Structure formats: structure tokens, C-alpha cells
């Protein structure tokens, strides 16, 4: 569910880049994402751009710091906060430039799926922003551990790498299969 979006990029472009990030994950692991009809539905991802304090315990810090945060899915977090994905509206958002929306969304969706940070700078789930990365085999493997590895795509080529985001992040998802609890 899309809430308030950044005015720094046309709304249709913001939505397109975030939907492209969802499609990237869905093409590599057995999950399906569908548009939500309203905010705060169970197993939904509410997406919003906000500044400073914005209703949760994780206020944004303005340009150049934390780019976004996402709450892990239930049962780690309870509804309705499970699934919320927030982006710092004060960043220099862009498409293919500035702070790339797709790159950050790809990382945040990893949290939405229940993934924690990686210590490998080649992974999307590395906690520091590096534009232009793609999902790594390790990113996909970690997600497959949570989402029915038997449903993985046999013979799928190994993906290229991508990495994103910054500071403390917390994550969300609409899984096709039950989610196994994750120890962050």
C-alpha cells in the first residue's frame, strides 16, 4: 500500500521503482506481492516517505544518514506495524541517481521478507548504501531458507550483486508460504 511519497521524483516513477524491486525479489523466491486496498491490512506492506519523527520509535535523521527502515513481518512484529516500510523524505531521492529508490527499496524489501543485515559488501542486505547492486546468491539463499527452499527455481542463473542502505533497519511481507521465525 502506497502512502505519502516523495515529491522529489514523480509519484508514478517512485511507485514503479518500488514495484520493480518487489518484482525482482518475487522473480527469485516463491513469494507473491499484490496491491493492498487499504493501509494496515494483515500481512501488508505500508510504504511511506516521512521526515523526522513519524509515528514509530525510529525517527529519521535528515539527509545523509539513515535512508529507510522496515519492520520485520509477523510474528516477529505484531500487526499493524509488521510490514511498514519507511523512507527518509529528506534524502536526495532519484531514479538511477542521487539516492536511488530502487536500490534502497530492494534492501528494505529484504527486511520485509524477514532478512537481517549481511556483513558482505556484495550483498543487497549489507547495511550501507551502494547504488547499482543486484541481488546476490547469498541474498537469495537467505530468503529461500525462509520461504520454502523447495519452491526455488531449479537451474536459475546465479544473480549479480547489489547492496543498499544505511543505519539500523527493521523489516515486512506478504509471503506465499508461512514464514519461519528469524533471529535478527
Catalytic positions, written as ranges:
108
Residue 18, H or E segment: helix 11-26
Dist. CA 43–CA 28, nearest whole Å: 20
- Which cell is 14 given? 517512485
CA angle 35, 159, 28 (to 5 degrees): 30
Nearest to 112 by CA among 141, 75, 83, 90: 83
In whole angstroms, how far apart are CA 122 and each of 45, 69, 130? 26, 20, 9
- Dist. CA 19–CA 21, nearest whole Å: 5
Count Cα atoms within 13 angstroms, Cβ side, for 181.
5
The neighbour count for residue 147, using CB atoms within 10 Å, is 23
CA distance linking residue 56 with residue 48, whole number of Å:
12
- Answer yes or no: are the C-beta atoms of 15 and 2 closer than 8 Å: yes
Amino acid at each position: 500500500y502506497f502512502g505519502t511519497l516523495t515529491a522529489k521524483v514523480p509519484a508514478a516513477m517512485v511507485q514503479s521503482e518500488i514495484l520493480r524491486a518487489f518484482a525482482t525479489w518475487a522473480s527469485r523466491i516463491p513469494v507473491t506481492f499484490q496491491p493492498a486496498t487499504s493501509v494496515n491490512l494483515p500481512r501488508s506492506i505500508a510504504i511511506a516517505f516521512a521526515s523526522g519523527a513519524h509515528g514509530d520509535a525510529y525517527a529519521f535523521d535528515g539527509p545523509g544518514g539513515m535512508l529507510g527502515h522496515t519492520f520485520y513481518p509477523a510474528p516477529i512484529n505484531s500487526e499493524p506495524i509488521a510490514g511498514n516500510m519507511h523512507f527518509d523524505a529528506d534524502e536526495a531521492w532519484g531514479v538511477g541517481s542521487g539516492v536511488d529508490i530502487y536500490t534502497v527499496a530492494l534492501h528494505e524489501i529484504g527486511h520485509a521478507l524477514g532478512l537481517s543485515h549481511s556483513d558482505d559488501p556484495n550483498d543487497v542486505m549489507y547495511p550501507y548504501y551502494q547504488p547499482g547492486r543486484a541481488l546476490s546468491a547469498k541474498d537469495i539463499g537467505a530468503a529461500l531458507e525462509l520461504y520454502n527452499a523447495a519452491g526455488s527455481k531449479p537451474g536459475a542463473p546465479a544473480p549479480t550483486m547489489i547492496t543498499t542502505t544505511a543505519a539500523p533497519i527493521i523489516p515486512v511481507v506478504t509471503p506465499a508460504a508461512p514464514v519461519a521465525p528469524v533471529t535478527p
